[in-house]
Structure 1
């Protein structure tokens, strides 16, 4: 267990608390940035950064709601002047000539960017591990994975280096690292935030941008500022500051769409959360059937393989490197797609129907409760690029078993750290809502956080 919490300008405050102190002039943006850089340096053993931290942070809009609050951006999003490496060891990465949409949005909110963070190659894996570079380590226990693909961001937030960090989620990449590191991770509805440029060209847009935080308050405040609902025909989230008096019908899912087993400790966290919701007055019932096409798990892997193939073919490589030099997962998925590419049109048709199938779950419930993952956080090496591809894919799909559905359906889902494994690591539980209803997820999250506060490394 390691962390950077100390009695400096950042203290133990979340991003909302820090922004309030800046507005009151109790602390300056420069003092916060200096403290964040010092903490990041102290957490070098986590290997969560791409390149060195910025000696001169990129300063955000001083009129924004998070003015002066330091943050980090995942290295698949452009920050002007910095290379974007996509987590790969063989990409020919050049400094970006302009800020990408995520950086522009976060800077407009007032955040100051102090570093870029690690992800596995192209964000395809669920653990932030590399062929030759050191893996990103979990601050709760550095022998364990920090999840992925937003693994570097999660490690730094959990360790206290920054209060909030950018992440994105194409199959669980915000929720998985949140579950592994004891954070709040909300994957928003499709279109709630800016879309990456590539997503606009794809037949099924599965990636959502967002943040990882230590408090529900930070997540709610971020989305109050970042909401693009008016442009995307979504119901606005609005300002959420606490629980609702409304009692909900909660459906509990214990088995993933993939049909694989869920481990005992993960189910214990799920059952404890269901019991807590019942004590709080919600109606909680197990859902015996989930109206999802039985081919969904295989279809998602097929689509994931298509994305790997496209990225392998189109990404500039270092001189002398070939398509075979990408990591095990990228190469294996791309090869798989070459063999099965004829299936893609029917796969895309079925995936596009998943939104309606998903929405039908909410005919009799207001909220769905499930695990985030098929089992507790693994040790480093379990999802290493050195594992043979077939074994790697089997391990990956049994682990990231619950999260991909929301990406395909375009629906919101949130991981909360409501359990604890026998190894002492957090266990995430997932709350899912109908498309456009992040507000209900946040209201319930406030209620659960108040009723059963989770530990952070600051404790």
Structure 2
């Protein structure tokens, strides 16, 4: 298989070539390894050399033989070391698979390596002291977002067609926006959190992945969604397959659009313009579009997000070996101190904030079917603009800082709604601009249908960054 052919294909197309015998999985893996190695020197998106051989998987699965990468957010894949992007974690190895990893293996994904993330996954910049800066294939002086930044860089650069990511405040959608990809944050309970946790980040963290096409997003979701035994939050699967809903007409929808951040932070005019253009496209398609926004209080986003933050801190403090604070970055040190000081009353206050926000969003979606916003408020940030090692931040101050850059995403982690970022525009400088669609809880099917309409009306498949494996 020629490298240029491999890089041009999404997972659905690669699987079809393998299934029909036009190529074999070994050829595809060889091309993937070549592609990854050809761009990683520029991007710095891997935590370690590629695995000597792909992790065990079912070659006859629905996506059998398609190359894949997992994020350094372990413990995730049995037998694989992980660091959570931190110098303070050494020698940690996952003893069991995350339930989602079990499903990735059953789907047939051939996992070849592990991607970079910021320390503890608590930044919108993938620039840890442990691994350095992960660079954006569209502009190497720009960041890739966070926390699933390494995954986004390599998918955007054509190295793999899709990769694992998770989202606790925008960590799939923000890298998708910064790198020109599709990034779906699933509903709370749509994908599993176990077996080692009953919930991830008090239910704010959702596991899934990044892709280059809507049909790949639908295929991946079809393979890994659904309840697992013992999960705290579960959603039943829809009556139809996600790959089939793409072809269904969602009908005339009530679409709300806002380009104003709830916190009042400024939104770049180019970014706002792309979101407004997406709304006009939806109106042209036949939907009813009007300006409207949920009654979200910005302080409730911050307080609700503290649940995920202190859950992360508690996981470190309860680990068999506590991390060395001297080897943690400054915001992580602040987080551990604040986690130790967090009381049951503080947890209840954060849960109250989550309740207020969740009810406001739920009420909004009784009046509207879809919400359109920008994904980020700004163009992809330059390296160093979000300095996680700055000792001047408390945890709440850090959340407010990153929410100036990405004010639109975290609310829906707190509320549990599904949201997707689509690469619908580019700036004058040629930088990707993402648009976020949000729907009622459990309505991934609706998001995918509308996303497919936008993909057809405003196609992005022909765009390639300056660093591209093909």
TM-score with structure 2 length normalisation?
A: 0.90
Q: CA RMSD in A?
A: 2.4
* Counterpart for residue 219 of structure 1: 217
* Counterpart for residue 328 of structure 1: 330
Check whether the contact 2:303–2:350 (CA below 8 A) recurs between aligned residues.
Answer: yes
Supply the distance in 2 between the matched residues of 1:344 and 1:162 (Cα, whole angstroms).
40
* Counterpart for residue 434 of structure 1: 440
* Counterpart for residue 424 of structure 1: 430
* Counterpart for residue 22 of structure 1: 18
Q: State whether structure 2 residue 272 is matched by structure 1 residue 267.
A: yes
Pick one of 119, 132, 137 that aligns with 1:121: 119
Equivalent residues, number: 452
Pick one of 275, 284, 292 that aligns with 2:289: 284
Supply the distance in 2 between the matched residues of 1:37 and 1:340 (Cα, whole angstroms).
45
* Counterpart for residue 248 of structure 1: 253
Q: 2:128 aligns to what SS in structure 1?
A: coil
> In the TM superposition, what is the alpha-carbon distance from 1:194 to its structure 2 partner?
1.4
* Counterpart for residue 43 of structure 1: 39
Tell me the alpha carbon deviations over residues 273-326 of structure 1, each in whole angstroms, 9 at most, x when there is no partner: 111111111111001x522345313313433442343144234669xx622431
TM-score with structure 1 length normalisation?
A: 0.92
Q: State whether structure 2 residue 407 is matched by structure 1 residue 401.
A: yes
Check whether the contact 1:175–1:186 (CA below 8 A) recurs between aligned residues.
Answer: yes
Check whether the contact 1:256–1:401 (CA below 8 A) recurs between aligned residues.
Answer: yes
Supply the distance in 1 between the matched residues of 2:203 and 2:139 (Cα, whole angstroms).
35
Q: State whether structure 2 residue 463 is matched by structure 1 residue 456.
A: yes
Supply the distance in 1 between the matched residues of 2:374 and 2:197 (Cα, whole angstroms).
27
The correspondence of residues 98-117 of structure 1 with structure 2, limited to 5 A, is 98-117=96-115
> In the TM superposition, what is the alpha-carbon distance from 1:337 to its structure 2 partner?
4.8
Inter-CA distance 63–279: structure 2 relative to 1 (3 Å threshold): same
Check whether the contact 2:2–2:31 (CA below 8 A) recurs between aligned residues.
Answer: no
Supply the distance in 2 between the matched residues of 1:201 and 1:66 (Cα, whole angstroms).
27
Supply the distance in 2 between the matched residues of 1:11 and 1:373 (Cα, whole angstroms).
27
Inter-CA distance 64–389: structure 2 relative to 1 (3 Å threshold): farther
Check whether the contact 1:243–1:447 (CA below 8 A) recurs between aligned residues.
Answer: no
Supply the distance in 2 between the matched residues of 1:259 and 1:235 (Cα, whole angstroms).
37
Pick one of 365, 368, 377 that aligns with 1:374: 377
Supply the distance in 2 between the matched residues of 1:169 and 1:250 (Cα, whole angstroms).
24
> In the TM superposition, what is the alpha-carbon distance from 1:328 to its structure 2 partner?
2.0
Check whether the contact 1:153–1:212 (CA below 8 A) recurs between aligned residues.
Answer: yes
Tell me the alpha carbon deviations over residues 394-436 of structure 1, each in whole angstroms, 9 at most, x when there is no partner: 4312112111111111110000011212332101100000000
Q: State whether structure 2 residue 417 is matched by structure 1 residue 415.
A: no
Check whether the contact 1:304–1:333 (CA below 8 A) recurs between aligned residues.
Answer: no
Q: State whether structure 2 residue 69 is matched by structure 1 residue 72.
A: yes
Supply the distance in 2 between the matched residues of 1:262 and 1:349 (Cα, whole angstroms).
29
> In the TM superposition, what is the alpha-carbon distance from 1:265 to its structure 2 partner?
1.7
Check whether the contact 1:258–1:297 (CA below 8 A) recurs between aligned residues.
Answer: no
Tell me the alpha carbon deviations over residues 179-226 of structure 1, each in whole angstroms, 9 at most, x when there is no partner: 000000111111111114565256831111111000011001111222
Check whether the contact 1:235–1:437 (CA below 8 A) recurs between aligned residues.
Answer: no
* Counterpart for residue 347 of structure 1: 350
Segments of 5+ residues of structure 1 without an aligned counterpart are none
Check whether the contact 2:205–2:308 (CA below 8 A) recurs between aligned residues.
Answer: no
Q: 2:6 aligns to what SS in structure 1?
A: coil
Q: 2:8 aligns to what SS in structure 1?
A: coil
Supply the distance in 2 between the matched residues of 1:165 and 1:213 (Cα, whole angstroms).
7
Q: State whether structure 2 residue 260 is matched by structure 1 residue 258.
A: no
Pick one of 46, 51, 56 that aligns with 1:54: 51
Q: 1:200 aligns to what SS in structure 2?
A: coil
